[in-house]
Each structure stands twice: as structure tokens, then as C-alpha cells.
Chain A
Amino acid sequence: MNSAVVVFPGSNCDRDMMVALELVTGRRPVALWHAEAEVPAGLDLIALPGGFSHGDYLRAGAIAARARVMRAVIGHAARGGLVLGVCNGFQVLTEAGLLPGALMRNAGLDFICRDVALEVAAADTPFTRAYGAGAAITLPIAHHDGNFQADPETLDRLEREGLVAFRYAEAVNGSARDIAGILNAGRNVLGLMPHPERAVEEAHGNLDGRRLFEGLLGVLA
């Protein structure tokens, strides 16, 4: 599987993402600087990492979503290529219009950094197929703006079409319907606030994130 990790000024989980991808795929991901206009041919997955791109100025992910590289990411997604946005990457995907809704300040106003229990709400996707529907997993979160909001029609549509990928097992940050991660209609774009790349090796004390990457490997070989 050929993958790339986009690096924005202020990204800080890009290395973790690259380590996780190399660990699972056996191939070193390409680092894509935000100002690049084109992505290498033959990429299977583009990951948008966590962090505070452009200082989270204006809105989290707002400036990064308009970066030059994002036109190539949008093109990759339109061709059916896989796109994974974690934390700030999820915020970038909503700001870029690749995923619906918006991520707002946590309801309690606190930055929340801890492990959270999650339910895998959609299993028939390239990202979640290794878990099984309804699987209970634990992943770390670390965010200030993870409160997912959308209008009721959009939330109904996401649920009806099985596009809610992950749900918090308890109220965490005020997210509508406890949504922790969503898919686009084509199910080739996933955005989630929890950090699967921080739960991929024994030293992390948790391997629940690893299965997300292993599932992708199974799809793409």
C-alpha cells in the first residue's frame, strides 16, 4: 500500500502517522508539504495528521483546508482514493467540504486528553472492516475542538446511510449524537477525532488503532 502524510505548518502528529503507516504497511509513506500542487501517482491513501495547522487561526483547519495540496487531496478522493483525517485532519476535511458538519469548541471548553471508549458504528468500510460492527474499542483523544455539529437533516442522513464510523461510548465533548468519526458517501474518506496512530504498538499499551491500518492493508494489499 502506497501512502502519503500531508504536513502543514503546525502539524504535530505527522511523524506518528508515518511511523504507524510504515509499521503496518512495511512501506515508508511520502511526506507531502502543504504547498505542493501535485501528489505522486499511485497513492492508495493520503492521511491528514493531527496538530494545530496554521496555529488553528480563524478556525481549526480553516487555513489548511485551502492549502494548495488540498486540491490534489480532493482530486484523489474524487477518484475513489482513500483519505484519512485524524483530529486536526478531520477538522481540515470538514473545512474542505470533503466531509459534512463542523468541529466546534468542546462543550466543557476544556482541552481533553485521555483514552475514550468507542463503538465501531459502521464496519463495512475500508477503514473499519477489521473491527466488526458494534466492536467496543479504546483510543486516545487529545483535542480542544472536537465537538461535532451538523444540522439535524445531515445527522439523520449520516445515520440512515451508515456513515457514522465511530461513536463515543459516553458523552465526551458535546458532539451531536456522540459522533466521533464520519465517512463521506463513497466511504473512501474518513475523519475521526480519536488517534488510531497512537495505539499501534505494544509500547503504547493499546493496539486498538492498529486494526484500522490493517483493515486498509487488507483492502489494498
Chain B
Amino acid sequence: MKARVTVSLKPGVLDPQGRAIAHALQGLGFASVRDARVGKVIELEVAPGTTEAEVAEMARRLLANIVIESFRVELEPAPGAP
């Protein structure tokens, strides 16, 4: 089965990359863009039965730097699994 960990910068943490992306989009004429924040998505292939708590522990220990980042865990059962 798959686990997806989405890592985002905490609100209030300056994101220069996001700001550059917002500027570039505005430069392309997308006047609706107010701001952009860049995060990352890490997809893990994990053994069936792996719990959300276990994946959250992986995120806390390595995948996210909890000083500056927050994370969200989603589990996707394998196709055809009950």
C-alpha cells in the first residue's frame, strides 16, 4: 500500500521560493495570484497494515523538520484491497 506525506512550510515562515513563483506567475499575467507556498510530497510504499501513526512518526523523525514544517499523512490502500 501507499502512504503519502505532504510537507508544507508552517504559516509565517518566509518562503523565498514561493515568493519567486508567485512573482513569475504574476509576470505571466495571472493577476489572480496573491501568494505561493512550496512544499513537497513524499510517496512511500509501505507494508499492508502500516498505521497512520507509524507514518507520522517517520515524518517527525526525518521527512519533516518540525521547526519550520508541518506535515499531513494519507494512507492509500492497494487497489483491490478490502
CB of B77 within 8 Å of the partner chain: no
Q: Which of B11-19, B27-35, B44-52 interfaces with chain A?
A: B11-19
- In the bound complex, what is the Cα–Cα distance between A107 and B14 (angstroms)? 8
- The reply to whether B68 and A102 form a contact with Cβ atoms under 8 Å apart is yes
CB of A28 within 8 Å of the partner chain: no
- The reply to whether A102 and B16 form a contact with Cβ atoms under 8 Å apart is no
CB of A66 within 8 Å of the partner chain: yes
Among A101, A102, A108, the most chain B Cβ lie within 10 Å of the Cβ of A102
- The reply to whether B65 and A59 form a contact with Cβ atoms under 8 Å apart is yes
The 8 A CB mask of A60-72 against B (1 = contact, 0 = none) is 0010001000000
CB of A95 within 8 Å of the partner chain: yes
- In the bound complex, what is the Cα–Cα distance between A149 and B67 (angstroms)? 9
Residue of B nearest to A150 (CB): B67
**Known contacts A58-B62, A62-B62, A66-B62, A108 near B67 by CB under 8 Å:** no
Q: Which residues of B contact A215 (CB under 8 A)?
A: none
Q: Which residues of B contact A62 (CB under 8 A)?
A: 62, 65
- The reply to whether A174 and B68 form a contact with Cβ atoms under 8 Å apart is no
**Known contacts A102-B68, A149-B13, A149-B68, A109 near B20 by CB under 8 Å:** yes
- The reply to whether B65 and A149 form a contact with Cβ atoms under 8 Å apart is no
Residues of A in contact (CB 8 Å), total: 19
- The reply to whether B65 and A107 form a contact with Cβ atoms under 8 Å apart is no
The distance from the CB of B60 to the nearest CB of chain A, in whole angstroms, is 12
Residues 56-72 of B at the A interface (beta carbon under 8 Å): 61-63, 65, 67-68
* Secondary structure class of chain B's binding surface, majority of residues: helix
The distance from the CB of B70 to the nearest CB of chain A, in whole angstroms, is 13
Residue of A nearest to B12 (CB): A151
CB of A116 within 8 Å of the partner chain: no
Residue of A nearest to B17 (CB): A105
- The reply to whether A174 and B65 form a contact with Cβ atoms under 8 Å apart is no
CB of A206 within 8 Å of the partner chain: no
CB of A188 within 8 Å of the partner chain: no
The distance from the CB of B72 to the nearest CB of chain A, in whole angstroms, is 17
B-to-A contact residues, CB < 8 Å: 13-14, 16-17, 20, 61-63, 65, 67-68
Sample of 12 more A-B contacts, CB < 8 Å, known A109-B16, A109-B17, A150-B67: A59-B65, A62-B65, A66-B62, A94-B67, A101-B67, A102-B68, A104-B14, A104-B16, A105-B17, A108-B16, A109-B20, A174-B16
